[in-house]
Structure 1
Amino acid sequence: MIKLPLSEQVFLVGKDFAPIIISVTAVLHPERLHGFITLGAPFILPGLAGFQRDVYPKGFYIPRWQEPGRAEADFGRFDVKTVIRNIYIMFCWSELQIARDDQEIMDLVPPSTPLPPWFSEQDLSVYADLYEKSGFRTALQVPYRSMNNNIDVENPTVMVPALLIMGEKDYVLKFPGMEDYIRSGIVKKFVPNLEIIFVPEGNHFIQEQLPQEVNQRILSFLSTQIIQQI
């Protein structure tokens, strides 16, 4: 592996499904990284054991949204602001979002459900304005409709320093096999220099819910690693 000078390397930080992109980058271009940080999901490659898509429960939002046209029809019953509101509320839950056969995913959130206390109506309006312009096509394609893509790497081990910040109340821990993948140390077979931090009250939007704590942990990790690598 070619070792680039420090000035040509970066730290990557990603949330939610961005860890998939970071993981692929770390495997294919490790020479470009000082290290990486993920929030709400660990190092995970498409097709990697521990992310068992084939055993998702029936009615779970991911396989529903992977169906061409289904999410579009579901979302299309509401204005964009309501769709974003429902998604933020649902993804704060500590349980999986599972609909009955006679429901769509948007039906899981009663209209009277309040926003999380740390997510204001102004925040919602900003997000809604952005999606009014962009639509949901890319958000559905990446990651949901590209999750079955595989990456053929013989030894997907990444030796750079890494940090995972995970809320104890993050519903992602309820993905089949995910909690064991993280807590048992299986993930460290792929990322040996991984530090894992669990935040007791953290949910899936931990960076917005607890920004000061998350920022402090990120800055502490970065400063430590930069000092060590100089």
Structure 2
Amino acid sequence: MEKIQHSHVEVRGLKLHVAQINVSGKKAVMFLHGFPEIWYTWRHQMIAAANAGYRAISIDFRGYGLSEQPAEPENATFKDVVDDVIGLLDSLGINKAFIVGKDFGSMPSYLVAAVHPERVIGVITLGVPFLIPGPSAIQNHLLPEGFYVTRWQDPGRAEADFGRFDVKTVIRNIYLLFSGSEVPIASEGQEIMDLYDPSTPLPPWFSEEVLSVYASLYEKSGFRFALRVPNR
């Protein structure tokens, strides 16, 4: 990972953390992370893209990791992260790019392509289908009340649930819960973190070292913005 370069780029009044490799590549690929992910999620894909000749870019969204927090995160929307992507392309002097999004990073990927098609070569997404933006987008999927998406829409609930643990434990719990073969559903009176079994080992693709990197970045940013965008 020593070839990946790190910097902060001012975009719309905030300094966003940007990781890049092969900055002289003729075409750019911008990777957009999900939750509870970060620029680091894409480290292997960045190197593969760079080896194929592309300029590979991975960012921490505003309010995440090493990027600055907005003054009023409770008022943030997906439009903020869409505008940040376009502002970052402008700041880096990139006219058009491939956009790759995973989890909630898929949403700004779709929206950038829809609103600014002239800036996009192509879009790749993982995990989330295209949804028409709006307050009913999630509810229309008839998710059960005990599913995390539904639970975390309730202001203050996830904050109280997460607040019982240190950041590293929260990250560990989420990855273990959501990487199983069954979707975790909390029963009445349970919170999402209550579903965690501390005897469950980390999967082979998620080592203690990797967990520590994620935890250190979320210790820096906290969950305040993340529980607004994407969860509310």
Deviation of 1:103 (Å): 0.9
Per-residue Cα deviation, 1:92-135 (whole angstroms, up to 9, x for no partner):
02332210112100011111111111100011111111111110
CA distance in 1 between partners of 2:103 and 2:124 (Å): 11
Deviation of 1:54 (Å): 5.7
Q: More relative contact order in 1 or in 2 (CA 8 Å, sep 6+)? A: 1
1:137 match: secondary structure: coil
Unaligned runs of 5+ residues in structure 1 are 1-6, 146-230
| Aligned residue runs from structure 1 range 52-131, under 5 A | 52-53=139-140, 55-131=142-218
1:40 equivalent in structure 2: 127
Equivalenced residues, count: 139
1:139 match: secondary structure: coil
1:141 match: secondary structure: coil
Q: Which amino acid aligns with 1:105?
A: I
1:16 equivalent in structure 2: 103
Residues 1:144 and 2:231 are matched in the alignment: yes
Unaligned runs of 5+ residues in structure 2 are 1-93
TM-score for the superposition, normalised by structure 2: 0.56
1:132 match: secondary structure: helix
Q: Which amino acid aligns with 1:95?
A: E
Deviation of 1:44 (Å): 3.0
1:8 match: secondary structure: coil
| Higher share of residues assigned helix | 1
Deviation of 1:53 (Å): 4.1
RMSD, aligned α-carbons:
2.0
Is the contact between residue 11 and residue 34 of structure 1 (CA under 8 Å) also seen in structure 2? yes
1:164 equivalent in structure 2: none
| Higher share of residues assigned strand | 2
Q: Which amino acid aligns with 1:11?
A: F
Q: Which amino acid aligns with 1:118?
A: W
Deviation of 1:20 (Å): 0.7
Deviation of 1:45 (Å): 3.2
CA distance in 2 between partners of 1:49 and 1:59 (Å): 18
- Using a 3 Å threshold, how does the CA distance of structure 1 residues 72 and 96 change in structure 2: closer, same or farther? same
TM-score for the superposition, normalised by structure 1: 0.56
Q: Which amino acid aligns with 2:176?
A: I
1:19 match: secondary structure: helix
2:225 match: secondary structure: helix
- Using a 3 Å threshold, how does the CA distance of structure 1 residues 50 and 86 change in structure 2: closer, same or farther? same
Q: Which amino acid aligns with 1:131?
A: Y
Per-residue Cα deviation, 1:33-78 (whole angstroms, up to 9, x for no partner):
1111111223333249985546111211111111111001001111
